[in-house]
């Protein structure tokens, strides 16, 4: 892949890429940080266009990338800022639908190759759903390559009109060292005490408080497992438009559930947890699922989207929208330490088969090479 190396024997200038993030959810932001680190290490110049808070949270500059503050998509200055950042780019790589659409507008018909990665599926209803389909169509018809993190996202891109859609190798940073995972104090009694779970099972769910996350189903399930003695405590980390509705239900029905807002210590929460729960209506390569398997925390998840392929037999999978099945799976695991240990061991094996960061960077570099050859010599 000499065309993308700063040490090219032919004296080519380093490839300059612009990575575009929208609001930057956990999965796409972690992926861009990992990708930026690998590209910079291979001599590629990387500029990450994202809100300033994303750089503070994920440290793009810390891995050698340049960061350009580009406001969220709702800000009218975002396209102008992005257009300036992309002015001398050899290639633009946008992550997510809204970031991709802004990249299309910023490039304004220029021949700069555009690569798009769909990390998840946009969720909307009614008129907004129609608008999102229009955005998808505009993006995929402009992009040189569309990468989907699951096979159904690839199929969706093809149906929408993509001329080149491929399955993406996407890796999050790998697991922590075994010494940390095998620490006899990994349950973090202090964290459990902070959350109010001393002497009772602790269940963790993480994600924005949006309708597609399935938290209404999870609260229905909590009505079932609150009959256990002691009743498990469900802790949900995240913020979103449904917070008030969920909190009202928790109080009115006296459910053993706590909403703790957005957290930057998810790994510590998982260390303290007995089970991780993922009740979503649809997920691609769920960050929580990957982190739970890496952390050896048994997972109960809905069998939707990319989840079955991601976790294999290393999790308890239940149908979406079935609180009885979800509650039953939780109760069964809490009463079966042997099954929990089997899931932990399967999780280690399953995670070992996921793409590595090096494999992810290699795939992306090969695509960049295709789209930018031949390069201009200096």
Domains of the chain, CATH where assigned = 2-171+355-372 (3.40.50.2000), 178-352 (3.40.50.2000)
* Three-class SS state of 293: helix
What does the angle CA 366 – CA 370 – CA 374 come to, to the nearest 5 degrees? 125
| Nearest residue to 114 via CA among 140, 88, 136 | 140
**Tokens, residue 249:** 């239900």
Q: Does the pLDDT of residue 96 top 80, yes or no?
A: yes
In order, the DSSP letters of 232-255 are: PEEEEEB--TTHHHHHHHHHHTT-
- Give the burial class of 71: count Cβ atoms within 10 A of its Cβ; 0-12 exposed, 13-18 middle, 19 or more buried: middle
The pLDDT value recorded for residue 6 is: 42
CA distance 209 to 213: 7
Give me the mean pLDDT over the 118-124 stretch: 79
Contacts of 360 (CB under 8 A, 6+ apart): 31, 34, 35, 38, 168, 169, 170, 171
pLDDT-derived band at 77, boundaries 50, 70, 90: confident
DSSP conformation letters of 70-83: ---TTSTTHHHHHH
Which pLDDT does position 74 carry in this prediction?
A: 66
**C-beta separation of 290 from 351 below 8 A:** yes
Cis upstream peptide for 230 (omega within 30°): yes
pTM above 0.85, yes or no: no
**pLDDT (tens digit, 9 = 90+) per residue, 229-243?**
999 999 999 999 999
Q: In degrees, to the nearest 5, what angle opens at C-alpha 260 toward C-alphas 181 and 184? A: 20
Asked whether residue 7 carries a pLDDT value surpassing 50, the answer given is no
pLDDT in tens, 49-72: 999 999 998 999 999 999 999 988
Question: Looking at residue 12, what is its pLDDT?
Answer: 64
Instruction: Using the predicted structure, report yes or no on whether residue 318 has a pLDDT greater than 70.
Output: yes
Between CA 85 and CA 146 the distance in angstroms is: 21
Using alpha carbons, select from 352, 43, 20 the residue that is nearest to residue 171.
352
Token pair of 334 as six digits: 């809490």
Q: Please, which pLDDT band fits residue 173 given cuts at 50, 70 and 90?
A: low
**Confidence label for 309 from pLDDT (cuts 50, 70 and 90):** very high
Is residue 104 predicted with pLDDT exceeding 60?
yes
Q: What is the pLDDT of residue 126?
A: 78
Residues 115 and 91 sit within 8 Å (Cβ to Cβ): yes
Average pLDDT over residues 101-118: 95
pLDDT at 171: 83
Percent of the chain at pLDDT above 90? 78
Residue 268 has pLDDT above 50, yes or no: yes
- Residue 259 pLDDT: 98
Range from 173-182, 244-253, 283-292 that averages highest in pLDDT: 244-253
The pLDDT of 259-273, averaged and rounded, is 94
Residue 116 is encoded by which pair of tokens?
A: 């798009």
- As a whole number, the mean pLDDT across the chain is 90
Rounded-to-integer distance, Cα 66 and Cα 173, Å: 20
The string over 39-66, giving b where at least 16 C-beta atoms fall within 10 Å of a residue's C-beta and e elsewhere, is: bbebebbbbbbbbeebbebbebeebebb
List the helix and strand counts (H, then E) for the chain. 16, 13
- Residue 373 has what pLDDT? 86
Per-residue pLDDT at 223: 96
pLDDT classification of 185: cutoffs 50, 70, 90? low
Which residues, other chains included, contact 370 with Cβ-Cβ below 8 Å and sequence gap of 6+? none
Q: Between residues 150 and 123, which one has the greater pLDDT?
A: 150
Whether 84 and 107 have beta carbons less than 8 Å apart is answered as no
The answer on pLDDT for 33 being more than 90 is yes
């Amino acid at each position: 892949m000499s065309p993308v190396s700063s040490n090219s024997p032919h004296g080519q200038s380093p490839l300059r890429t612009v990575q575009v993030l929208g609001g930057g959810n956990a999965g796409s932001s972690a992926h861009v940080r990992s990708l930026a680190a690998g590209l910079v290490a291979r001599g590629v110049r990387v500029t990450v266009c994202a809100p300033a808070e994303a750089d503070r949270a994920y440290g793009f500059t810390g891995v050698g990338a340049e960061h350009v503050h580009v406001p969220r998509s709702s800000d009218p200055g975002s396209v102008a800022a992005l257009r300036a950042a992309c002015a001398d780019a050899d290639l633009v790589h946008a992550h997510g639908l809204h970031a991709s659409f802004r990249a299309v507008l910023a490039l304004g018909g220029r021949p700069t190759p555009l690569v798009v990665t769909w990390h998840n599926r946009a969720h909307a209803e009614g008129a907004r759903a129609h608008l999102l389909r229009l955005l998808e169509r505009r993006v995929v018809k402009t992009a040189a390559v569309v990468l989907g993190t699951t096979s159904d996202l690839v199929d969706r891109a093809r149906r929408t009109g993509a001329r080149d859609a491929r399955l993406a190798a996407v890796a999050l940073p790998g697991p922590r060292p075994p010494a940390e995972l095998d620490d006899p104090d990994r349950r973090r009694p202090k964290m459990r005490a902070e959350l109010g779970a001393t002497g009772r099972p602790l269940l963790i769910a993480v994600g924005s408080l949006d309708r597609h996350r399935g938290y209404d189903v999870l609260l229905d399930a909590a009505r079932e497992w609150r009959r256990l003695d002691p009743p498990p405590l469900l802790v949900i980390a995240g913020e979103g438009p449904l917070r008030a509705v969920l909190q009202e239900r928790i109080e009115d029905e006296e459910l053993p559930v706590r909403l703790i807002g957005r957290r930057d210590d998810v790994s510590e929460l998982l260390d303290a947890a007995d089970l991780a729960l993922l009740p979503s209506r649809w997920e691609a390569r769920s960050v929580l699922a990957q982190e739970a398997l890496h952390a050896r925390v048994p997972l109960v998840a809905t069998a939707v989207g990319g989840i079955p392929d991601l976790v294999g037999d290393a999790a308890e999978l239940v149908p979406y929208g079935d609180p009885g099945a979800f509650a039953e799976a939780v109760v069964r695991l809490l009463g079966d330490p042997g099954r929990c240990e089997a899931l932990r061991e399967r999780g280690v094996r399953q995670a070992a088969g996921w793409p590595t960061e090096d494999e992810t960077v290699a795939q992306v570099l090969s695509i960049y090479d295709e789209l930018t050859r031949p390069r201009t010599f200096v």
